[in-house]
């Protein structure tokens, strides 16, 4: 089966490509990525002989049509997106261009071909701030920053192609991912790399913002589950039910690196910083998925990966 993985040189996409190349013997994976700052062919080096890499943009419809005609893809998994909230606040246009226009052009091409499934990778942030309880798939979407708004738009645009054109769309909404190969603009790799350089770590506000932490390999296997078992046209939340405040995560990093609390520098909070995200993921668990790794195990593994792979993050 030929599978197109867009954004497959980024953090989550490359994990999906690496894992699929090693575990899915009947898949032929083609990775399409335009290699922005957050994507690198280096992320695919462990499986470079098992995947086909194409440098290009999902907004390039001529390229997409050539690839579809050559490979006759059965499944498309769209990871391609700008993903960092801070960057979206400073430059919303890049998020509109890549997350919305890019998704639109990819969907337009896909509707012309005979696909088994189009998986749109979305995020828990589309629900907006959840101060109590848990978001379920049918809840209203209330994104509060340009990043989450752009992801909400592509989420609903993908669904519209199912409802209007019968494109076999499935939408996943994942919680806060962490793991190896994540660009060091995100909390865990940012803090580990700064500490390795002898710097303090900048903790927003009071450090009490809550996220549900999901190990990237568990996320990838959830997507495998959706490709095998999901109902077309449905949305599935993916979360590990591992809620931790940012201050706790910071303390865990410091403990893992045998450093003290004096390395924390509290900084002015991000504008519009959502206090908490939380999702109910029972729907995908009913399909048979559950996290494989414990939080402590995967957290320690992640911190050690950045400590042992300084050449990777210093080359970015």
Known catalytic residues are: 124-125, 147
pLDDT tens digits, residue range 257-279? 999 999 999 999 999 999 999 99
The whole-number pLDDT of residue 75 equals: 98
For the full predicted model, state whether its pTM sits above 0.75. yes
The whole-number pLDDT of residue 151 equals: 98
> What are the structural domain ranges in the chain?
2-178+215-239
The whole-number pLDDT of residue 218 equals: 98
pLDDT tens digits, residue range 220-250? 999 999 999 999 999 999 999 999 999 999 9
CATH value of 2-178+215-239 in 3.40.50.970, 3.10.129.10, 3.40.47.10, 3.40.50.720? 3.40.50.720
Provide block-wise average pLDDT over 10 residues at a time, the chain (316 residues). Answer: 98 98 98 96 97 98 98 98 93 95 98 98 98 98 97 98 98 98 97 98 98 98 98 98 98 98 97 96 98 97 98 95
Ordered DSSP codes for the chain: -EEEEETTTSHHHHHHHHHHHHH-TT-EEEEEE---TT--GGGGGGGTTTEEEEE--TT-HHHHHHHHHHH--SEEEE--S---HHHHHH-HHHHIIIIIIHHHHHHHHHTTS--SEEEEEEEGGGG----SS-B-TTSPP---SHHHHHHHHHHHHHHHHHHHH---EEEEEE-EEE-TT--TTSHHHHHHHHHHTT--EEEETTS--EEEEEEHHHHHHHHHHHHHHPPTT-EEEE----EEEHHHHHHHHHHHTT--GGGEEEEPPPTT--SB--B--HHHHTTT----S-HHHHHHHHHHHHHH-HHHHHT-
The whole-number pLDDT of residue 216 equals: 98
């Amino acid at each position: 089966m030929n599978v197109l993985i867009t954004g497959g040189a980024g953090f989550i996409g490359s994990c999906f490509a690496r894992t699929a190349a090693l575990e899915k013997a009947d898949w032929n994976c083609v990775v399409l990525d335009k290699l922005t700052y957050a994507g690198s062919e280096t992320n695919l080096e462990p499986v470079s002989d098992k995947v086909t890499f194409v440098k290009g943009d999902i907004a390039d419809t001529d390229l997409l049509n050539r690839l579809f005609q050559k490979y006759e893809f059965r499944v498309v998994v769209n990871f391609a997106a700008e993903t960092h909230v801070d960057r979206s606040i400073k430059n919303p246009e890049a998020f509109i261009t890549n997350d919305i226009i890019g998704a639109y052009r990819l969907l337009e091409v896909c509707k012309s071909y005979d696909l088994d499934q189009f998986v749109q990778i979305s995020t828990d942030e589309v629900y907006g701030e959840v101060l109590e309880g848990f978001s379920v798939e049918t809840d209203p979407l209330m994104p509060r920053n340009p990043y989450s708004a752009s992801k909400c738009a592509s989420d609903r645009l993908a669904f519209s192609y199912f409802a209007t054109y019968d494109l076999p769309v499935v939408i996943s909404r994942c919680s806060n991912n962490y793991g190896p190969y994540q660009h060091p603009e995100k909390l865990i790799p940012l803090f580990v790399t700064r500490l390795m350089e002898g710097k303090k770590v900048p903790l927003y506000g009071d450090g009490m913002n809550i996220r549900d932490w999901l190990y990237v390999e568990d996320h990838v296997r959830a997507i495998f589950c959706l490709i095998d078992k999901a109902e077309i046209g449905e949305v599935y939340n993916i979360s590990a039910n591992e809620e931790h405040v940012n201050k706790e995560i910071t303390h865990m990093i410091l403990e893992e690196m045998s450093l003290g609390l004096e390395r924390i520098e509290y900084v002015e909070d991000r504008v519009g910083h959502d206090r908490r995200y939380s999702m109910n993921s029972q729907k995908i668990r009913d399909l048979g998925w559950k996290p494989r790794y414990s939080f402590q195990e995967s957290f320690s593994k992640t911190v050690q990966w950045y400590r042992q792979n300084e050449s990777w993050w210093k080359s970015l």
